[in-house]
Amino acid sequence: MPAEFTFVSAFLVGFFGSVHCAGMCGGIVGALTLGAAGDAAGSQRRIIFLLLYNLGRLMSYAVAGAIAGAVGASLLQALPLPRAQQVGALLSGGVMVALGLYLAGWWQGLAGLERVGARLWHRIEPLGRRFLPIKTPTHALAAGVLWGWLPCGMVYAALAWTLTAPGAADGALLMAAFGVGTLPMLLTLGLTWDRLNRLARQPMIRRLAGLVVIAFGIWMLVAPAGSGDHKHTAVSATDSPTATRSGLM
C-alpha cells in the first residue's frame, strides 16, 4: 500500500472514529476551556487554547507512534519478508475491524486496553491539575501534551496499527495523520459542545462510523491477496526490504 494512501487512510480513520471523542473527551474540552471568558476576547482566547490543546495532543500521539513504529519495525524485520507482509496485513486489518466494532458499540474488547492504560493515566493526571484552570498559552499546550496520554481504545487501536509502520518516523507520521483526522470533531466540540455531543451520541451515527471503519479493515485484509505481483515489483524497484515489511506498502 503506498505510504501516501496509508496516511490518508489514517486521517479518515481518525475522522470517522472521532464520534467516540465526543463522549470520551468532550468533558475534558469543556474543563480546559473554563479559563476563557464569555466575551469576544474570551472567545478568541478559547480558540487559541483549543488549537494549543490539540497541538499538544498530536505531539503526544506522534511520540507514541514513533515508539510503536520503532518497536514494530524491529519485530517485523526478524521475520521473512512474505511472513512479515502477511503479519502486517492481518494486524492492520484486524485492528481496524476491532476498532469499527468498538465504535459501533458491538464489541467492547478495546475497553480492556483502556483499563490497562488507566494505570499510566493515574500517574499523569495529577500533573494536569497544575494547569487548571488554563490561563496561559503555555499551560494550554502542556495540558494538551498530557491529554494525549488519556487512555482511549481508539488511540490504542491506531497505535496497534502503527506497529506495522516501517520505522519510527513513519509511525510518528501515521499517528499524527490519525490525530489530525480527529481535529474537526474536537475543535468543534470546544465551540458547540451541547449540540455536537448529542449528535455524536446517536446510536445510528456511531454505527455508521463503525461500519465505515470495519469496511476499511476488511479491505486491508483482502487487498494484499491480489497484489503479490505489485509487491515483488516494488521490492525490486526500491531494494528496501524494510519498506515492504509492514502495512505501509
Nearest CA to 60 among 127, 5, 135? Answer: 127
Closest CA to 245 of 43, 81, 17: 81
- Please state, in angstroms and as integers, the Cα–Cα distance from residue 110 to each residue in 97, 149, 192, following that order: 12, 16, 28
173-212 residues labelled b (16+ CB within 10 A) or e (exposed): bbbbbbbbbbbebbbbbbeebeebbeebeeeeebbebbbb
Query: For residue 91, what pLDDT is reported?
Result: 85
User: Is the model's pLDDT at 1 over the cut of 70?
Assistant: no
pLDDT tens digit sequence for 134-188: 788 898 899 889 888 888 888 988 998 899 888 999 999 999 999 999 888 887 7
Give the model's pLDDT for residue 24: 64
Segment of 16-30, 78-92, 204-218 carrying the highest mean pLDDT: 204-218
Containing 52, the helix (H) or strand (E) segment is helix 40-77
Query: C-alpha 220: how far from its chain's center?
Result: 17
In sequence order, the 6+-apart residues with CB closer than 8 A to the CB of 169 are: 66, 69
Is 109's pLDDT higher than 90?
no
Q: In sequence order, what are the residues at sequence separation of 6 or more whose Cβ sits closer than 8 angstroms to the Cβ of residue 167?
A: 69, 70, 73, 242
pLDDT in tens, 55-97: 999 999 999 999 999 999 998 888 887 787 778 888 888 888 9
- Per the structure block, which three cell numbers stand in for 30? 469543556
Q: Is 222 exposed, middle or buried (0-12, 13-18, 19+ CB in 10 A)?
A: exposed
With left for phi above 0 and alpha for psi between -120 and 50, is residue 248 left, alpha or beta? Answer: beta
Q: How many CA atoms lie within 13 A of 41 on its CB side?
A: 2
Domain ranges of the chain: 3-244
Range scoring the smallest mean pLDDT among 14-23, 174-183, 191-200: 191-200
Q: Mark 118-130 as b/e (b = at least 16 C-beta within 10 Å).
A: eeeeeeeeeebee
